[in-house]
Amino acid sequence: MPTPKLTLTLFTLSLFLACNSAFSQKELILISEHKGPVVSVAHPDVVTSKNRSGFETGQVVKIDGEYHMFVNEMFERPHRDMRIAYWTSPDAIQWKRQATLVESIPGRSPSNPRSEVWVTGVEFNEEEEAWNIFYVAYRAGDKEKREIERSDYEGKIWRAKSVIKGKRGIAGPYADLGIVLQPDENSQEWEGQQAVATFNPFKVGNKWYAFYDGHNYIPMGPWPIGLAEAPKLSGPWVRLSEEYNPVPIADEFAENPQVTELKNGGLLTVFDSFGDQEIGYSLSESGIQWTPEKRIKIQTDTIWADAGDHAMRTPLCAIEEDDGTFTVIYTARMNVNDENFFAIGKCTLGWK
């Protein structure tokens, strides 16, 4: 007779295979692509805000026909000097910068736990009647502890709430409410030294889940993703057990997954993956079991992003439009006057 643990493992596997079977025929294709960035180094608001290096990670939501982008601006050094900004657009093409929402604390060091801030999740909290943003704050590596100085350590997930109630409060300001997930006695071995990295909540039934990332620097490991769960968006958040974590979506690399609740049921997540001008995606019915990643090239006609695994960066959304297509806003690295700038692009995906 199978042991209880083996029975649970077989049950988990059967659910995973059932999920794969249900979505085995679904495949995304590129419908159209904007020819060039929608926000580049020459954008007037980039110039005015003195954003030198561009954008990386964030989320775009659509409310009453308007697109709202929460994005990290790398105003000096790429992936080092950070702030969280808020932009809006009527069509996902013409963008206007509205405000700075969260600043990092200058002076990147092992003793500064907010030397970087990365927004990764935006949700409306019905119970609070307010918008919530979730962002990661890191400290730098400590060479005295044989850590890598240029790397990010001990990510902590902060939750902030819009001060103005109702959906009109999306523009902020936002007030910090505390840390919802961080390294502690419940950390799992696969999370490594960087975790908790990224946090992207989504709802299934009456329960909230959130993808989060991890990475081990020494020894160098892959970039896996796991799941946490909570009864409310405000928490308390706890990690799923290692029966489920890390989630077997990608073999080596997956970062910053953004989840879309599909109108006809099921879930779609898009994320930063490997491949020239490619992003990854996965599907789920339960929110726990996800199909192995597929990759899709989102620049084919006018290629403006650099080549290489880490040049096409992070999808900020896959918004399901009324016609069934998906609007994808993403960041990507390009070369401008012999300097790197991480611009914002747009494309439209659809089911094959």
Q: Are 347 and 315 in contact (CB under 8 A)?
A: no
Render pLDDT for 2-41 as a digit per residue (tens, 0 to 9).
Answer: 444 444 444 444 544 555 455 556 899 999 999 999 999 9
DSSP 163-210: SS-SGGGGG--EEEEEEEE-SSTT--GGGBTT-SEEEEEEEETTEEEE
Cβ-proximal residues to 278 (8 Å cutoff; 6+ apart), any chain: 295, 296, 297, 298, 312
What's residue 78's pLDDT? Answer: 87
Render pLDDT for 239-279 as a digit per residue (tens, 0 to 9).
Answer: 999 999 999 999 899 999 999 999 999 999 999 999 999 99
How many structural domains are present in the chain? 1
CATH of the domain at 167: 2.115.10.20
Q: Give whole-number Cα distances, 49 to 56, 118, 297, in Å.
A: 16, 18, 31
Render pLDDT for 103-151 as a digit per residue (tens, 0 to 9).
Answer: 999 888 999 999 899 999 999 999 999 999 999 999 999 999 999 999 9
What's residue 25's pLDDT? Answer: 61
Structural domain including 273 reads: 4-351
Prediction pTM value: 0.92
**What distance in Å separates the CA atoms of residue 33 and residue 332, rounded to the nearest whole number?**
14
